[in-house]
Structure 1
Amino acid sequence: MQFYYGNQMPLRILDEAEFWKHQEEEHTVVIRELVKGLETEYVEALKEWEKVLSNTRQTVVRWIETVIRSGQTLSPTLYQEVLKLVKYLLDESMQFIKFCQYLKENSEPIKNNPTAKVVIDHIIRESEYFVGIAQTLLYS
């Protein structure tokens, strides 16, 4: 993501967040479909993550609509609320990354499936990309 969007930056980060939350949501399905014989507890956890990430994405969409309706200039309060949301999104992605790492380390069908390990590593890298974007905005 480029950081020269000026006053469009809050909208731009929300747009990125919507895209990456959708990716994370889809990744829960990819893992479930890819790994045959995945333990029931992990299947259920992935389904729960799918719901959570879908709800998060819908929240981001509502915030995008709010920012668009606010016009050319965001109030300082609205900008701070967007930053709080971005912090939440970052934390959620960090938890999703930890969950994916846990799966890779603890699920026997994943440990015995080299393709699944590569795919999960790719999923983790994609979530880490969003984390990097969010951290850059929050801490710069």
Structure 2
Amino acid sequence: MQFYYGQQMPLRILDEAEFWKHQEEEHTVVIRELVANLEQNYVDALLNWEEELSKTHQKVVRYIESVIRSPYYIPAKLYQRVLNLVSFCLKQSLDFIKLCRQIKTESAAVRKNPTAKVVLNHIIRESEYFVGIAQVLLYGSK
């Protein structure tokens, strides 16, 4: 991510969050579809994650709309709310990564499916990419 966005930096990070929350939501479906006989507890967890990630995605979209409506000046309160949302998205991604790692290491169905391991590693790396972007923004703003 480039940092020459200046005043529009909150919009840039929200764009990233919007993209990655949608990706993570889709990844819950990919895992469920790819791993035949995935244990029910993981299926249920992924269904819950799909719903929660969808809610977060929609919240990010609402914040994007708010920032767009403040093109010349982003009020400090709105900027702080954006940072809080990014912090929430960061934690959510870390928790999602934790679930993916748990599925990869503990699921018998995944152990029997080498392709699923590769896909889970890819999904984890993609979420870690967003985590890195979010951390830079959050740590750079303090």
Shift of 1:75: 1.1
Which residue in the other structure is 2:65 paired with?
Answer: 65
Q: CA deviation at 1:74?
A: 0.6
- 1:71 to partner: Cα distance: 2.7
2:2 counterpart residue number: 2
Q: Deviation per CA, 1:86-126: give whole Å up to 9, x if none.
A: 00000000000000001111110101111000000000000
Corresponding letter in the other structure for 1:134? A
Counterpart mapping for 1:112-131 below 5 A: 112-131=112-131
SS at match of 1:70: coil
Q: Paired residue for 1:16?
A: 16
Q: Which residue of 2 aligns with 1:33?
A: 33
Alignment length (residue pairs): 140
- TM-score by length of structure 2 reads 0.97
Structure 1: runs of 5+ lacking an equivalent: none
Counterpart residue number, 2:55: 55
TM-score, normalising length from structure 1?
0.98
Q: Secondary structure at the match of 2:2?
A: coil
Structure 1: distance between partners of 2:111 and 2:3: 39
Alignment of 1:75-114 (within 5 A): 75-114=75-114
RMSD: 0.7
Instruction: Return the alpha-carbon distance in structure 2 between the equivalents of residues 113 and 11 of structure 1.
Output: 40
Whole-angstrom CA distance in 2 between matches of 1:42 and 1:86:
26
Distance 2:32 2:14 in 1: 28
SS of structure 1 residue aligned to 2:71 = coil
Consecutive unaligned residues in structure 2, runs of 5 or more: none
Q: CA deviation at 1:76?
A: 1.2
CA–CA distance in 2 between the matches of 1:125 and 1:34?
A: 18
Structure 2 CA distance for aligned equivalents of residues 139 and 4 of structure 1: 17
Q: Distance in 2 between matches of 1:114 and 1:38?
A: 14
| Misfit runs of 4+, over 2 Å | none
1:48: how far off? 0.6
Which residue in the other structure is 1:133 paired with?
133
